[in-house]
A and B are shown apart, each in its own frame.
Chain A
Amino acid sequence: MATATGSGTTVSSPEAGATAGAGAGVRATTPLLAVEHIDAGYGPFRSLFDVSFTIEEGAATAILGPNGCGKTTTARVVTGLVKPTAGRLLLDGVDITGLPAWRIARAGIIHAPEGRSVFASLTVEENLALTFVAQLGKKESPRALQRAYELFPRLGERRKQQAGTLSGGEQRMLSLARVMVNPPRLLVADELSLGLAPIIVDEVFQTLETVKSTGTSILIVEQHVQRALALADHAVLISKGSVVASGPVEEIRAHVDEIIPSGL
């Protein structure tokens, strides 16, 4: 259940979720990730004010909002790239606030960042190996590579090619291949469709569907509102750095037009 403070559509409060995880012993009610009252920003500039929501195991949550409202910052806070100045992040009820990004990655939150997200000067194979060795260990890495090439034969053909010379779509495939082979607990997909041809965007969203069907939770940050809503179970609407509404997609749909100017 996605929840938010100060919103009419709140279904359950994060406090309730946390106590359930700590005391009641009913594991199913502990959210995978709870974001509690987060403030964050860059240097003197604050871009998030008291943001709270939760992500359930296996569900896809979309963060929607106009340009510059703090969507990407939210994604960066979740994966530890930006440290919050206040508030907590709980993964399975465990506080992960302030952990370095690599620890959060090892705990199972994978970030596919906005824009180019591969190492341009490394080859395709090296790009994959870097992740697999870190997450699966040296022994498992070759098998994981094999699996990636089976899933994406195009990458297999270009394994010795520098990743920077791949097309935009292929680069997306490369970053998604890491996720497909070794499904994380939570995939943070930040503007994956940005700058891609519509046909490739379709492909990316199909892949996301597949990732979701393996049981991975997804936090999706997207400007293609309709596509995101089609994929997501829950949605969080952000405006000017604060959550204005959150809840199941069916309830949120009604609010979307108020917050986001039509045409986006």
Chain B
Amino acid sequence: MEDLLVYIVRGFPAGCVYGLVAMAIVLTYKTSGVFNLAFGAQAYVAAAVFYKLGKEHDWPIGVAAALAVLVVSPLLALGLEYFIFRHMRTQPLVVKLVAALGLLTALPEITKLWFGKEIKNLPPSVAPSPDRLYKITDRVTITQDRLVTVIASLLVFAALTALFRYTVLGLRMRAITESPRMVELAGVNANMVSRVAWTLSGFLAGLAGVLFAHTEPQLRPDNYTGLLIVSIAAAAFGLFKSIPRTLAGGMIIAIVGGQMIPGWLGVERTITSYIRPSFPFLMLFAILVFVPGIRQSRETTDPLAGVDPPPPALAASYRDAQLDRLTRKILFPAFIAAVLYLVLFLLPGLWVSRVTEGVCLAVIFLSITVLTGLSGQLSLAQSVFAGAGAFTVGQLSERYGWNPLIGLLFGALIAAAAGALVALPAMRLGGLYLAVATFALALLAQNALYGRDWVGGFAGQVDIPRPKAFGIDFGEDKPFFVLCAVILTLLSYAVIFVRRGSTGRFLFAMRGSETAAAASAINPVKYKLIVFAFSSFIAGVGGALLGMYQGVASTGFEGQSIFSPFYGLVFVVLVVTLGVRTIQGAIVAAMSFVLFPLLLEWLKLPIEFSLILFGFGAITFARHPEGIMEANTRKSVLRAAENKANPRLARKRRLIAWAMMCAIAVPVLVRSATRDAGATELNVGFTVLPIECGTAWEAYTDFDPEGVDAAQRPALHSACKTEARKHFTHTSGIKLWDYGGAWKALFLFLFGFLRFSPSLIDGRRQGGRPSDESGEQVPGPTDREEVSV
């Protein structure tokens, strides 16, 4: 009996914090339809402010906490609402979810620019003497810090419950849950109510962030991501609506999952180390799948949903016939040929290697195009399916000596089987719940499977050899690049055929309305299974290729492997932001993922900028939910029509485009011709090393390139090169240090051409709406035949 009390007292404060974040999630989800996964990041921001002011600047702890919780966090939430989520109110859930995911990754990085990148130890507590003990019984004690957490949380819960039950504001918030438009028709400013709700949720997230800070030895963003996911489980227990049940959910996770089960099983046993971190995800998954009431979809309850326009047809489908022929028959093949020529004959080894990585990633991203673009389902477990492919290849070749190409097929089949398994719960889930469930499964896989030696290997990594087949050794970079490119092409065509065929049409129909599709004799169960299996098959192939490229598949420590669930989030955000309905969207996403760090390096910006730009990507995305690529294509189609109608305008635009290109390219050429090669070589070369190699080398020597004097550099230079080759076995042929400025110029020139040329993918200047005349010249999809006849 006393044991039970101990468990409850130990678990209670954590349960309160889970409850707070869960409340914030429910609040914004219900009042604005945004399932805000960025709360983890918002809580982290509040904690960072609290830490910086309270610990590093020695402000009074109460003032620091008040500023973080009452000012910074609510303002941040309000800002997010105002700049991002306000514009997405009528967008589909997937769009909002992706914007929130983008923020979850970007916000901590932006904060770190001010907060500092170093490890932040021992976060402070709001309590004046946090470690002072209070006795409940002889054996049961509670620290002051925890006591403060419990009291503050319970007060907030009581206030919130009263607010919802008894006030006008609460009534309005509950009404908005159902239909913001109907609330407007009653004469209430729905935007204002939603803003109040966001501010309130910001306060809750901030409070949770500050209270949670002291419970961990270090202040790290991933702690807060973990907190967020656990809180989603608590919110699910409250069926995403009830306040008391949400609190109870938090308590069950903290007390039963965190204390009781480990207590009964024995804390030291291995099984406990698997079950304890997995408990919230298991619970979340079980609730999502087995509780029927939770899945009442929000969209179907808004009687005024018909006010929103349907998604437009793909821009390419109403392109002018001449431009269409030009793009398909000449420009596209020419572009591909140019890229192949560049990679195979001109680019230095490093670039070949990065482009190959991009191709492998593009295969993984293609699986998102299939699942999200084609069938409208959102899965956050694609990186784990990719991992299934990679680990299978590694294990098969290591244990049984299989040819990696056969292993790749096998790995993809295993990934497909896993995907079909995931599809089983997807039968009953959709939209948000499917996304959350897949993420729970991904975390479960990472916690329970990745650590096993028959999955992730003994030291957390499996070696993956590159194949030798048809008399070719794919161990060399260039043959391997060709292999990857061929596989990507084959899979792309497979996707195109599926999209054009009856399966694609059925999937489109299901995306529109599953009920209507079923009424048209389409079996939704069958096609969901097919699309999940197909998509994870592709992800498995991509994962295996990526593993071969890296030479190793690691489970990652602290979740930083490319196969960890975190990257599942990043992948989806990237692909959806750039364009999820087209294959070029996937390819561009993959290429920007690998080439962007190089570009940043060249511009001398810190690598964190890529994640920050990710956040700005989310903002752009708010304006172009169809994806940036697709938005560009649409603009170019509109402008092509304009150009045709108005040759003078076209000439002017072409002039501007050329001027732009020259303005960019000339300074670059001049700079590259005059740069001091000797001084920058080492630095540039060093940081551009592939990550595995760079870390290995840094760990090996504790080497700081800035702190070495010039005389020693050549020696270090060659030592580093040798060391890099040792760790990076497959890139024996690469020349790490000799990519010249001309390539940068070419790259930028191409970039500028694609960006500003009027005939290709133009459309940054005069981005406004086209005039009415040209608007009418761009007909709907049905008019395409008329043009081409």
Contacts and interface: CB of A to CB of B under 8 A. Distances in A.
Interface stretch (A53-61, A126-134, A225-233): A126-134
Contacts of B308: 42
A129 B171 contact: yes
A81 B189 contact: no
A174 B171 CA distance: 17
A105 B187 contact: yes
Interface in A23-50: 41-45
B178 A102 contact: no
Interface in B133-185: 168, 171-172, 174-175, 177-179, 181-185
A121 B182 CA distance: 13
B162 to A, nearest CB: 16
A106 B174 CA distance: 20
B304 interface: yes
A45 B309 contact: yes
A79 interface: yes
B188 interface: yes
Interface of B: 168, 171-172, 174-175, 177-179, 181-191, 301, 303-304, 307-310, 312, 780
Contact of A43 (B178, B301, B303, B312): B312
Given A81-B304, A119-B178, A122-B175, A105 B312 contact: no
B301 A105 contact: no
Contact of A121 (B174, B183, B312): B174
B308 to A, nearest CB: 7
B309 A42 contact: yes
B171 A105 contact: no
A207 interface: no
Given A115-B303, A134-B188, A43 B182 contact: no
Nearest to A39: B772
B737 to A, nearest CB: 52
Contacts of A122: 171, 174-175, 178
A119 B304 CA distance: 11
Interface string A67-97: 0000000001001111000000000000000
A9 interface: no
B312 A44 contact: yes
A81 B180 CA distance: 11
Contact of A110 (B181, B185, B304, B312): B185
B283 to A, nearest CB: 26
A184 to B, nearest CB: 10
A119 B168 contact: no
A119 B179 contact: yes
B240 to A, nearest CB: 13
Given A43-B309, A100-B184, A105-B184, 4 more contacts: A113-B185, A126-B171, A130-B183, A134-B186
A120 B191 CA distance: 21
5 contacts: A81-B184, A81-B307, A100-B191, A102-B189, A129-B168
Interface in A109-152: 110-111, 113, 115-117, 119-122, 126, 129-131, 133-135, 138
B188 A113 contact: no
- Interface-central residue, A100, A102, A178, by most chain B CB under 10 Å: A102
A101 interface: yes
B304 A113 contact: yes
A102 B188 CA distance: 5
Interface of A is mostly: mixed
A120 B310 CA distance: 25
B255 to A, nearest CB: 31
A79 B182 CA distance: 11
Contacts of A117: 182, 303
Contact of B178 (A44, A103, A121, A133): A121
Nearest to B776: A46
A101 B184 contact: yes
A110 B307 CA distance: 17
A101 B301 CA distance: 20
Contacts of A110: 185
A102 B174 contact: no
Contacts of B184: 80-81, 100-102, 105
B181 A42 contact: no
A42 B171 contact: no
B177 A116 contact: no
Contacts of A76: 307
A86 B307 CA distance: 18
- In the complex, the 5 A-B pairs of residues with the closest C-beta atoms, listed nearest first: A43-B309, A101-B184, A42-B309, A105-B187, A134-B187
Contacts of B780: 44
- Interface-central residue, A42, A106, A119, by most chain B CB under 10 Å: A119
A94 B336 CA distance: 59
Nearest to A42: B309
Contacts of B174: 121-122, 126
B307 A42 contact: yes
Given A42-B309, A122-B178, A105 B191 contact: no
- Interface-central residue, A43, A80, A130, by most chain B CB under 10 Å: A130
A81 B185 contact: yes
A49 B191 CA distance: 30
Given A116-B303, A121-B174, A100 B309 contact: no
Given A81-B181, A122-B178, A130-B172, A106 B303 contact: no
Nearest to A131: B186
A100 B181 CA distance: 10
Contact of A82 (B172, B182, B191, B307): B307
A82 B182 CA distance: 13
A15 to B, nearest CB: 23
A164 to B, nearest CB: 9
Contacts of B309: 41-45
A80 to B, nearest CB: 8
B703 to A, nearest CB: 57
A193 B79 CA distance: 44
A89 to B, nearest CB: 16
Given A121-B174, A130-B171, A105 B185 contact: yes
Nearest to B296: A121
A79 B184 CA distance: 10
Contacts of B310: 42-43, 45
Contacts of A102: 183-190
A152 B175 CA distance: 22
Contacts of B304: 81, 113
